[in-house]
Structure 1
Amino acid sequence: MSKRDRIIYLKSEEELEIIRNNGQILGKAHAEVAKLIEPGISTKELDKVAEEYIKDHKAHPSFLGYDVGGLKFPSSLCISVNDVVVHGIPSNRVLKEGDIVSIDCGVYKDGYHADSAYTYPVGPIAKEVADLLKRTYESLYKGIEQAKAGNRVGDISFAVQEHAEKFRYGVVRELVGHGVGKFLHEAPEVPNFGKRGNGPKLQEGMVLAIEPMITLGRRSVVQENDNWTIRTEDRKQAAHFEHTIVVRKGAGEALTTFEYIEAVLAKKNLTVA
């Protein structure tokens, strides 16, 4: 583990403002994608729209070329459909009515990253899947409520897990949230399961990506042969929501936004939360 992987960097208000501004670009890029999420569109088309929007705003898509052990992610979005939990690669796959699709995106500008994800319904979806989206969304905000100075990472983790498991959903263990800043992934890791009072102590100025990954069936996941795509082992649907937040005294404060996404969904008469 490198020195960077162990250090938790606290951000100044000036640094937080840069991340917040990047969160605005990110939220609007999500909204541009949300406008196009309909049966018949390919995931590659969605990726192209997001990449162009981010680059038009003098920013870089955080995931494009992201290097893990010499393996570089080929796209600007992670697009994960139905039983794909995260890290789906955009392709010629066409969305169908009743699908759900997680769009995970990052924006890098002025030396800092912002990272967020949202799981979208493709037209009307089955009630049990709609409930999964709603409860996963709620679990994100349960976690953010616990991101307050003096708590520990485990308090966030427990809040997410408790809410999801109350509805008998699976909570993915192998993938976690993380610190965000000059690097897309910084310390500390933020699991979606854990015990109250465990883990690193939260301090004001810590910036975290909290990202529940919750499954309709069992929590077990497998990795596809492309070395990126993670799907549920039982092939049941999974939902994923994520905000980049800063730890504050009373509760976490979101630096990314779903405002623009949800305005688009409202015009389509679709809701998640």
Structure 2
Amino acid sequence: MTVIIKNEHDISKMRIVCRLASEVLDYITPFIKPGITTGELDTLCHEYMINEQNTVPAPLNYQPFGYPPYPKSTCISVNDVICHGIPGDKKLKNNDTLNIDITVIKDGYFGDTSRMFIVNSGSILGKRLVQITYECMWLGIEQVRPGAHLGDIGYAIQSHAEAHGYSIVREYCGHGIGNMFHEEPQILHYGRSGTGMQMQPGMIFTIEPMINAGSCEIRTMPDQWTIKTRDHSLSAQWEHTVLVTKTGYEVLTVSANTPAKPIITITD
């Protein structure tokens, strides 16, 4: 496993592109209302990236080996869609929960982030899942420091999710990022503390737990991209890109309207 340690030039470029990715989410937030389609949201994001930011939407035509090209500029995953939801004709309804996942390219660097949104008031179940998932991401982020182990991140996330009766999706994980969309290391959202690679200053990776209200089992839809919960339960995901600093961490995917770090109550 070769992990690319970023230098000061890389880090300065990553700060810029990660902020730009987060600003797309700031921009799209007011448009998330009942009746708008996920395809319309994607178009708005695409035009903002291209015309306002002069960035490139990384997902558009992205094609890992064995997959068809991804056809849109964002991933929008609604309700029981865990990840990689392809925007289209689906109209948002009151109480829907959705994740919008943004990755942009600027000057050869990738910035990657996602947020959860709730359409209007939201259900009690949906709001609780979204909040606990947000807390899980932040508990993972809090483990980031030189000398700590990657397993510490997964352990913190898994412990909090399972304490609230939720399950962790295991087939998808966070990843290193920089001049490539996906680099080493893989960041699992479950695991044992004190295991795995030790973190070093200059490592940059995403923490992006996918957490289901029901079973952790998944199903892949015929488009080969969309991943849903097998039992049709709700799923939620949040994502930040994080830099390991000399003393701890720096969250790079921050902009004017990024949600604040939560106050978390740990239950035994």
TM-score, scaled relative to structure 2: 0.93
Provide the secondary structure at the position in 2 that maps to 1:29: helix
| Residue number in structure 1 paired with 2:118 | 121
Provide the secondary structure at the position in 2 that maps to 1:136: helix
The match for 2:243 among 232, 246, 257 is 246
CA distance in 2, matches of 1:259, 1:165: 32
The match for 2:16 among 21, 24, 37 is 21
Letter in 2 for 1:72: P
CA RMSD of superposed structures (Å): 1.5
| Residue number in structure 1 paired with 2:3 | 8
Provide the secondary structure at the position in 1 that maps to 2:257: helix
| Residue number in structure 1 paired with 2:156 | 159
The match for 1:216 among 203, 213, 216 is 213
| Residue number in structure 1 paired with 2:56 | 60
TM-score, scaled relative to structure 1: 0.92
1:11–1:205 Cα contact (<8 Å) kept = yes
Unaligned runs of 5+ in 2: none
The match for 2:29 among 31, 34, 46 is 34
| Residue number in structure 2 paired with 1:196 | 193
Letter in 1 for 2:121: P
Question: Displacement, 1:194?
Answer: 0.5
| Residue number in structure 1 paired with 2:147 | 150
Q: Deviations over 1:154-194 (max 9, x none)?
A: 01111111111110101111111100011010001101000
2:19–2:255 Cα contact (<8 Å) kept = no
CA distance in 1, matches of 2:15, 2:193: 29
Provide the secondary structure at the position in 1 that maps to 2:134: helix
Unaligned runs of 5+ in 1: 1-5, 264-270
Letter in 1 for 2:64: V
Question: Displacement, 1:251?
Answer: 2.8
CA distance in 2, matches of 1:195, 1:251: 20
| Residue number in structure 2 paired with 1:179 | 176
Question: Displacement, 1:16?
Answer: 1.1
2:20–2:111 Cα contact (<8 Å) kept = no
| Residue number in structure 2 paired with 1:46 | 41
Letter in 2 for 1:164: A
Question: Displacement, 1:258?
Answer: 5.7
Q: How does 1:95-114 map to 2 (within 5 A)?
A: 95-114=92-111
CA distance in 1, matches of 2:149, 2:259: 31
Letter in 1 for 2:244: V
| Residue number in structure 1 paired with 2:89 | 92
Indicate the percent of aligned positions where both proteins have the same amino acid. Answer: 37
Question: Displacement, 1:37?
Answer: 0.3
CA distance in 2, matches of 1:149, 1:45: 42
Letter in 2 for 1:52: E
1:144–1:251 Cα contact (<8 Å) kept = no
1:20–1:256 Cα contact (<8 Å) kept = yes
CA distance in 1, matches of 2:74, 2:64: 16
Q: For the structure 1 residues 261 and 152, does the alpha-carbon distance in structure 2 shift closer, same or farther, using more than 3 Å as the test?
A: closer
Question: Displacement, 1:249?
Answer: 3.6
Q: Deviations over 1:8-44 (max 9, x none)?
A: 0011122111111112211111112111000000000
Say how many residue pairs are matched.
260
CA distance in 1, matches of 2:97, 2:76: 10
Q: Deviations over 1:44-75 (max 9, x none)?
A: 01001111111121210111111111521111
